[in-house]
Amino acid sequence: MENNTYVVIMAGGIGSRFWPFSRTNYPKQFHDVLGTGESMLQMTVRRFKDICPPENIFIVTNKDYEHLVKKQLPQLSDNQILLEPVGRNTAPCVAYASYKIAQINPNANLVVTPSDHVVLKEQVFTDVIKEAVAAADKDDVLITLGITPSRPDTGYGYIQYISDEAQSIKKVKTFTEKPNLELAEMFLNSGDFVWNSGIFIWNVKSILKAFRQHLPEISEIFDEGTTDFNTETEKNFITRAYSHCRNVSIDYGIMEKVDNVFVLLSDIGWSDLGTWNSLYTIGEKDEHDNVVDGEVILYDTKNTIIKTPKERLVVVQGLEGYIVAEHDNVLMICKLEEEQKVKEFMADAKNRKGPDFI
């Protein structure tokens, strides 16, 4: 079955909530965020080493990041790097990869994953993915990994499942996008909600069927490229195709509409690492609950995350509950509890100072 397993890694986003560390010309998936010596993208690829052959891994990214992908993953062939001419959210991204891989192997089972998530329990992850692939290979099902919630987080989407089923793969009842705190607390207390990881597993026939049923305008666009995929005309076709695709997520366009969607409950040490607070949560803390990455001297500082260039000495005094982040030509100091303003800061920086600062 491993030879029928393919991994699609979505690596086209700019990670705006992680500004100023994540930048338009060098997004966070290409950074060594955790200080391990590997970028998030490299860690994601390595995570699948026991799940599928290396030639079955495909990266979908923006055309502007082709050089970064090739530099960090020189083992990939050009055909394994899918270049989007413009971002159109995750549904066109998944459609592109699915149609392309279907031409290579019509029996393919696909694992679709973001490139910038953290998985601390890698062996558990491998076992969970193999269980999901086996289920997708046998039945016409669309599976997402559901993460056992550890707190009432308002930054994640939630999945409610039918809890009276004994198996670990459960029928999905509802999806809820980023609830308020009161609702998130209710979800946590109910015991039948999990976080939506954004990691999907399905057979290529099942997902193409779902596109034809629920996003027919996208399937019609990609159906026209059947003879172009995996040939020298693919690039020109994709440029034309994306000019006609609307911006729509795979969650909204398909997962929330199909009746054969299931969730596999899992505890894999997962974080989407989408915000400074998520990095603070999983980071190694000192005796004053600070997370520090850089040459830093601290005085009277606690509950603070600091990420600064190694070549610059930074002295911090008297902060509690802050983000101190410097990268390239931007230094940001922000209250950790108000990190949702980071996207606003980034937009203002672009409007007031120009694109060089984003």
**Cα dist from 346 to 11, 32, 35, 196, whole Å:** 20, 21, 24, 26
Q: Render pLDDT for 174-218 as a digit per residue (tens, 0 to 9).
A: 999 888 888 889 898 888 999 999 999 999 999 999 999 999 999
Task: Kindly state whether residue 358 falls inside one of the protein's structural domains.
Answer: no
Q: Given this model, what pLDDT does residue 178 score?
A: 86
Residue 179 β-bridge partners: none
Task: Kindly state whether residue 319 falls inside one of the protein's structural domains.
Answer: yes
What span, in angstroms and rounded, lies between the C-alpha atoms of 349 and 355? 8
Same-domain check for residues 178 and 72: yes
Strands (E), 63-209: 81-84, 109-114, 118-119, 142-147, 158-161, 169-176, 193-203
Task: Kindly state whether residue 287 falls inside one of the protein's structural domains.
Answer: yes
Same-domain check for residues 14 and 121: yes
Q: Are 19 and 63 in contact (CB under 8 A)?
A: no
Task: Give the range of the structural domain holding residue 339, as residue numbers without chain letter.
Answer: 276-353
Task: Kindly state whether residue 175 falls inside one of the protein's structural domains.
Answer: yes
Same-domain check for residues 192 and 327: no
Rounded to 5, what percent of the chain is helix, strand, coil? 40, 25, 35
Q: Given this model, what pLDDT does residue 200 score?
A: 98
Same-domain check for residues 91 and 222: yes
Q: Render pLDDT for 19-53 as a digit per residue (tens, 0 to 9).
A: 999 999 999 999 998 888 999 999 999 999 999 99
Backbone φ, ψ for residue 151 (5° rounding): -165, 160
Q: Given this model, what pLDDT does residue 1 score?
A: 55
The predicted model scores a pTM of 0.93
CATH number at residue 208: 3.90.550.10
Same-domain check for residues 79 and 112: yes
Same-domain check for residues 266 and 147: yes
Q: Given this model, what pLDDT does residue 129 score?
A: 98
What span, in angstroms and rounded, lies between the C-alpha atoms of 301 and 143? 44
Close Cβ partners of 273 (under 8 Å, ≥ 6 residues apart): 18, 28, 33, 40, 116, 117, 118, 279, 282
Taking 70 as the pLDDT cut, the residues of the chain under it are 1-2, 164-166
**119-149 burial by CB neighbour count: b if 16+ within 10 A, else e?**
beebeebbebbbbbbebbbeeebbbbbbbee
DSSP tag of 164: T
Single out the residue of 281, 283, 347 nearest to residue 17, CA to CA: 347
Same-domain check for residues 94 and 196: yes
As for how many domains the chain has, the answer is 2
Same-domain check for residues 195 and 284: no
Same-domain check for residues 252 and 285: no
Mean pLDDT of the chain: 94
What span, in angstroms and rounded, lies between the C-alpha atoms of 251 and 177? 10
Same-domain check for residues 160 and 181: yes
Same-domain check for residues 261 and 112: yes
